[in-house]
Structure formats: structure tokens, C-alpha cells
A and B are shown apart, each in its own frame.
Chain A
Amino acid sequence: MPTITINQKSTTVPDGTTIIQAAEQLDIEIPRYCYHPGLSIAGSCRMCLVEIENMPKLQPSCNTRVTEGMVVQTNTEKVKDAVSGVLEFLLTNHPLDCPVCDQAGECYLQEYYMKFGLYDSRMDENKTKRHKAEVIGPHVMLDTERCVLCSRCVRFVREVSCSNEIGIFNRGGQSEIRLLPGKALENNYSGNVVDICPVGALTDRDFRFQCRVWYLNKVNSVCNGCSRGCNITIEVNRQRPHHGEGRRVMRLKPRFNPEVNQWWICDEGRYGYGFIDAPSRILQPRFKKEWEYETLHWSWAVEYASRLISQVRESSGVNSIVVIASTQLTNEDLFVIRKLFGEDLGIHQIDYRLPEQNPSEGDNFLLRADRNPNTRGAEAIILEEQGYSLEQAIGAGGTEEFKLLYVFEQDLVKKLGMETANRFLECFESVIYQGSNENGTSVLADIVLPSATYAEVDGTFTNFEGKVQRIHQAVEPLGDSFPTWQIVARLAKAIGRPFSYECAEDVFADLAQRVVEFENLSYEKIGDQGGKLDEVSRVRA
């Protein structure tokens, strides 16, 4: 455990720590382009040069390991001159097209020029012309004039995605990032090269020219694309609603979590947010009248649905009602479903497991075959007390008793296939569908209640490893939609068994008391990096 002093501040670091890492611990900024903690060391950009006592030459801090008693300066005249010299070199052939560059505002050429450059340009020669605005894959655009040749993207495709689509071609001043012959950047992690590109060379085709980054608000969340639960920030345009064709959610970016996704997310998750602002969103409650829909005011919708539930329960018994929950819902949503339908109304036919007609596949990196963010949470909350199997009921073709089906989020038609779904739905006299977007099931339902998407609610998801992670509301629920737990709470009140929750945290606090695996968790404990389910307690119970 050597001790290092950087700019008169000392710290002790584990063996093998580099100076740049030690500086981060001390909150000392060392500029860098090629260094990225998730990739191998290239040491080629030469921005991170520092002065080390008793060493005549400046050393790259990314490749220099801390030794006992090392004394480092990052702010001497020698270092400042070298760093601004390197920056000047990087900008000699840069097109300076910031006004039309998507990266502007989050570009490390801009950032470091203001912090470490601030020289007057001496470059009067003609700039080198290179390839501009090239489509190099389904999601990524390449502008080699803006490139600083840090090789982060090249190392990424070599070391992380292991797909090797791009490389640096030619030599010296002619060096350029190019696709390998016959290849395109089309691996499922291609979007990450845009994140790690410190400049505007690699831009996101999806986000390109949609919105300037300084209009974006960033909210921490968790990807709902699979059971990995990659940490993300949802970036929302709240200030310029006329930009990006009215899209509110402009992009998702990965958020570092060493235990879950490190720095990365897959493209399927990254570009899977389209449903949030899609035209298919259900904006108002409605009910089916003959063959037409009639929109309803929420109070009527709640009244209508709650009366239906109560009536069926009283006249035909609890066995006439089936509730299909969803693993897209948060732990809080699932808990109120269990509480109202299971505990308060005594319905035991609650399940979320639908046999999949076309199961998805995962990969050996982040993407999981289970494309739902909260399967583990549903297992803990719904299955804890219920032994009901939906699969058996569907397999048996339903029973005579069935009267009312309450479906959350799930699309039976897509999962079971049209024929099986229809046969099953026909067993029931009425179907209530509560979800965010139209699908094959919503159009068949008698009552439709619009719920909010994960980007519009507070709550938690539990990933496949039992890590409970917070999601935060990034945008207001669209139209008249509401968070699922709030809709259920309204029903509960109308049925005469009101809940006392005011926010998602209240629900979680109750959940933590009532569901054994959650018993040690709270929003505070979960924090930004997630908290683990107490799996031992489950075994004990």
C-alpha cells in the first residue's frame, strides 16, 4: 500500500494503482483522452502527462504505477505547457464545427480547451480533409475529421464487445478510424463507442440533431430491457419541447455500476425507450360498449372497475377472478397488487408467468434471455404466498367458473399466440387491461386503464441477482396515465379497503416489512448503487 503525494495532497492506495487513479481519489483532475478505466492502457494521447519528482521527463499518469513516497505535480508550468501543447496538436486538424456537432456541450476538446488550453491558434495551414458523416453501423455515425485517434473505440470492439469491426488505418498524419473491410459496426454493444468517444467523432444516429445536450435533464434509472438491470440515466428534454419531434426522452446513457453493468449497456436496452413517447400510448381510461370504445373520466373508470370486481367476487366467489401481474412492474406495483387482490380480496389466482411462444435469447455479456427487469422481484413478492400456476390454467383451457380477468401490462396475444390467447380470454365475461401501450390484449379488453411507464414513476426493480435498484421519475406520466400502484390504490379505496401510501417510498417501507427477502432494505440503503435481497432469510422462512 504505497503512499503518494499529488499537488501536496497525500493518499495511500493499493499496489498497482496508477497515478491517474490515485488523482481521482484525491479529486485532482488529470485530463485524458485515451485512458478509460474499462479499457486497456494505450498511453498515446499524451494529455495525462505529470511531473514526478526525480524523473527528468514528464510521465503519462495512466501508465505509471504509484510507488512508495512518490511525489507528483500536475500543475507546474512544465506540465501546463505540455498539456496545452498536446491540446494544440489535437486541434490543429480539428474542423471546429462545434455549432453543428452533437457532442458540443459534452466534448472533451471544448472542456479541456477551456480548462487547460486557452491559447491563441497558430494553425494557418489548410486542415487535412478526411471522411465525414459516414454511417458505420445501424446506430453509429463516424466523422474522422473530429477524431483525436484516442483508440478507445478500437480497444472497445477488441476487448469488450470482442467484435473487431474498426481499426486505425494508415500511418502518421494520415491515420484514420475505418471499418475493417466487409464489416459494419453492428454488434449489440455498438452504442457504447459513442459514450466513450471523448469528442464528436462517433455520434449516435438515433440522437443526431435531435436536441442540444445542454437542454437535457438527467435522471438516474435502471434499464427495463432485461433482467440484468443495467444502471442508466434517462436524458429528458424538458426545455425545448419543439425539438426532436416532441420526444421527451431523448436518449438513455449507461451509468457506472461495478457490480451490474460497469460502464456499458447493450443497444437493445439503449434504443428500447421508444415506447415511452410512442403514439401507441394509452392516454385515457376507456371501456368497450358494444363494438366501440368510450373514453371515461378516471373517477368513472375506477368506480366502474371496482364495482365490477366487487360484484364478481361477491356473486361468483374468488375463484372466478384471475389476475395477471407483470414483471415489467416495479416491486411497489407488485406489492400493492398482492396486497389488494391477494390479501384484502382473498383472490389466490394471481400469477405473472405466461408461457412464451417465442422466447428471447441472451448473450454472454450483459443481455439476459429474460427481457423483464423485475422477474426476481415478482418471484419474491407474488410467489411468496401464491401457489397458483397460470400456465396450467391456460393449458387446461380455463374453467367454467372464470368471470373476470385483470391483466397488468402483459400482452397475452403476443406471448401465447392469437389462438390460445383468444380461447383463454373467451372464458371470461369481462377483461380489465391496465397498461401503458396499446397491444393485442388491450384492444380486446372491456375496461382499459392507462398506466405510466418506468420512466414516469419512482420505484425499484430487482435484477436477476437479487439486486434491488431505484428508478426515478424522469418525466410526468403521459396523458391521464398514472403509476400502477396509484391506480390500484384508487381501486382499493373505491372497494372500501384504502391504503395509506403517499408515495412509492411508503409502499416500499410496507413491502420491506411484509416480504421477507426485502426486510433489510429501504430507499436510503439502496441508494444509487442498489441493495441486495436477503436471500438467506427466504431459505430460513
Chain B
Amino acid sequence: MSELVILKNVQNRSLLTIEDYLDVGGYRALKKALFEMNPEQVIEEVKKSGLRGRGGAGFPTGMKWSFIPKNIDKPRYMVVNADESEPGTCKDRVIIEKNPFLLMEGITISSYAIGSKSCYLYIRGEYYDQAMILKKVIEDAYKHGYFGKNIMGSGYDLDIYLHRGAGAYICGEETGLLESLEGKKGWPRLKPPFPAVSGLYGCPTVVNNVETLSAVGPIIEKGGDWYASLGTPKNGGTRLFSVSGHVNRPGNYELPMGTPLRTIIYDIAGGMKDNKKLKAVIPGGSSVPVLTKDEIDVKMDFDSVAAIGSLLGSGGVVVMNEDTCMVKALLRITRFYAHESCGQCTPCREGTTWLKRILQRVYDGEARLRDLDDLMDIAFNMMGTTICALSDAAAMPVRSYIQKFRKEFEYHAQHKCCDVTPVKV
């Protein structure tokens, strides 16, 4: 078994009380950061670790923090993105359920690094139980002096506020999240200005994912070089993969960056269920281009997956066997994005709905061959033309599914039925 960072100590139990957490050496990293390091040193250490944003975009975390302007008399905000809503992803949930204090410690260290005295934790509305856990954890941490005034006697103050979202996918986009947090409709903001300059309430803000922040404590405790050595070059550390679909052991697995996808499917997740053949894999949540069975030797780190034309995204690995209808799979995904488009930008608002309608027709066996080219072209027009990445997220699957499984789509169009599991028309 490879070295664990985030799920260490919680393989067989959950650390839900502060006593349990302190027993396994919790808050040592915070102590180190507050008493032995200044904020710049914390940022340097995180830069050294090669930690990249685990929300999906993979932006280097240390660099994101260093964009916060120095010597500004506005408050700075740390915002925790726990709006985990990418289909196929449930890694943040397991952190909150099993090791919430690790997240709290990471939040405090990171807030210290960017000089923030207030932190907002935005959790998706559907995570009710998890929000209740966090509520208790935050109360506990306050009680023991790990939040509030003068944390651990260091003179550093930090307040944290828990905010439950109302269920929109788009509020996981960092500026959509900020709008929602401000009490407005979750419409992503036009950039520039970026949140580091003008974020929450117009103040410098860092938005980080739960998994990203959870890695900060161990990085400070054991050093950036140690963390970087766990992964591949420029892709430090470990990563939580949420493996789902037609495998024997679906679940959340913490693995070093760069673990081959084949290993994840056949070793870690116990191979294909019922010994069916593998057909396709989504490597990083429903929004990324799909991989075929021939592409699973890819190393699962940001750069390697990008090199073969997909994205590591949020680490939600969805495995599909030979019985899967790719048209149906794509329709399901496209329907999701049509439902979740915020409606602000034209290409996304109109494009997602249009794609959904055509795909529905293809699935229903009412397609013409022309529709496949139209789908490709509509999806192309949606890419790179909008404020946020949702439009791309909806378009990328469409293009990759049709490119890689065109025969299936053509079969649907020509035979008015599915070649995998024939549907009644």
C-alpha cells in the first residue's frame, strides 16, 4: 500500500472528535506554521510541494495564494469550496465524514498564509449530514481554541462561517460560489478581476477545494519536498480517486499522483464486475473527455491525462463496461449540464439545451446522420466562448463520445435502435 496523506489514520475509523484528532498528532502542523514560520514561508513550502488545486482545474495552490496583494488595507478572505457537485465525484465527502479536523487544520494554516481573518466554508446543500458534522467540528475547534481569537496563543485570529448552498452545480465554480455566498444568484463573474484581487465582497479572496486544503497540514508538518516526492514531477502528492461504475470495488481511494488508470481499475478497484469487458472510462468527473479501453495506460496526473486529450478534473473515475450504451450515457450527462447551466452566456444557455434535444432524438431513434455533425459543430461553438467552464464541460463529453464511439451513434441514427442493448422504438 502506498503512503497515505489525507486518509492516513482513518482507514478503519473516523476522527470526529478533537481528542481523537489530537491523539494521532493533529494540529502539530498548525503549531509549526504559527510559531516557526511566517506566512511567506508557508506559501513557499506549499509551492515547493507541487500541490495543485484538487477541485478540477489543477492550478498550483501556492501560486494562487501568492496572487493575494500584499499591503492592502482590505480584509482578505479564505473561502473553502465544499460544493462538491461534479457527477462521479465524492472525495470531499469522505474527508468531511472521516477526517474533518485535517480540513480545519489546513484551513487555519492556509488562512494564516494569506493573512485572512475570516473564512467561509461553502458546502453543497445536499450534504446535510456532512454540514452537521462540520458544524460540530467547528464548535469543537472553537472550544479548544483552534478557531477564534489568539489561536494556540500565537496572536493569530481566525473566524470561520459555515454556509450551505442551495443545490446549484454552478455554485461550485469559484466566482459563482462567491456570488451565492454574497446572497445573489449563482452567476459566475466576468474575469478579470480575479478573486485574488476582487473576490468576496470585493476583497482579495482565495477559493480552495476541500481536498487541496486537507493536504496543507501534512505538507507543513513533513515538508514540501516530501509531499512532492509522493507524486510525479509538477504533480505533487496523492490524490483521492472516486471510482464508480462497473467495477468490483467502487469507492474512494487515495493514491499517488501518476498511478496508471489500469492499476486503478484492475488492482485497486478489483477489476471489472462480472468479468465484462471494459468499454470506456471517464477519468475525472463527467465533464471531461471520455477515454477508451485502449487509453487506460495513462498515468493519472494532471499533465499526463491532458497529454492524451482528456483532463484529470476532480478525480471521479467512472468505469463503463461493454453493455453500456454510449448514446444513453452521453444523453444523461448532457441532460445534467442543460439542467445546470446558469443561463448567463448565450452559447451555454442555448447550446446545452440544443445538444440535449438532438441527443434525445438520437437516443429515441429519430436521428439523421447529419445530426452527429451538427452535434460536433454545436459543441465546438460552445467551447472557449463563455465566462466560465460549464459550457466546455458540456461540450467536451459530446465531442469525445461522438469522436471515439461514432459507430454507436451512427448505428442509432441508421437502425433507430441501440446496438448494445436494443431499445424498443
- Taking beta carbons and an 8 Å cutoff, which residues of A are in contact with B? 41-47, 49, 57-58, 60, 63, 81-82, 85-86, 88-90, 92-93, 122-123, 125-126, 128, 148-149, 168, 170-175
Contacts and interface: CB of A to CB of B under 8 A. Distances in A.
Contacts of A149: 343, 346, 349
A149 B386 CA distance: 15
A93 B346 CA distance: 11
Contact of A41 (B190, B347, B381): B190
Contacts of A45: 345-346
A37 to B, nearest CB: 17
Contact of A44 (B168, B344, B354): B344
B349 A125 contact: no
A125 B357 contact: yes
Interface residues of B, number: 30
Contact of A49 (B343, B344, B350, B385): B385
Interface string B137-175: 000000000000000000000000000000010000000
A175 B190 contact: no
A44 B346 contact: yes
Interface of B is mostly: helix
Main secondary structure of the interface of A (DSSP, over half): loop
Interface in B333-380: 338-354, 357-358, 361, 374
B387 A125 contact: no
Nearest to B187: A44
Contacts of B350: 89-90, 92-93, 173
A63 B358 CA distance: 33
Closest 4 interchain pairs by CB?
A: A85-B381, A173-B353, A175-B343, A172-B341
B356 to A, nearest CB: 8
Contacts of A41: 190
B399 to A, nearest CB: 14
Nearest to B374: A122
A173 B340 CA distance: 9
Interface string B102-138: 0000000000000000000000000000000000000
Given A58-B384, A93-B350, A171 B343 contact: yes
Contact of A86 (B341, B347, B354, B357): B347
A491 to B, nearest CB: 63
A75 B354 CA distance: 27
Nearest to A85: B381
A92 B378 CA distance: 11
A42 B385 contact: no
Given A45-B346, A46-B347, A85-B385, A171 B353 contact: no
Given A92-B354, A149-B349, A173-B353, A168 B343 contact: yes
Given A89-B381, A122-B374, A172-B341, 19 more contacts: A42-B190, A43-B190, A44-B344, A46-B345, A46-B347, A46-B385, A47-B346, A81-B381, A85-B381, A89-B347, A90-B346, A93-B350, A93-B353, A125-B354, A125-B361, A172-B342, A172-B349, A173-B352, A175-B349
Contact of A171 (B192, B341, B346, B351): B341
A295 to B, nearest CB: 62
A173 B386 contact: no
A266 to B, nearest CB: 29
Contacts of B348: 172
A172 B347 CA distance: 11
Nearest to A40: B190
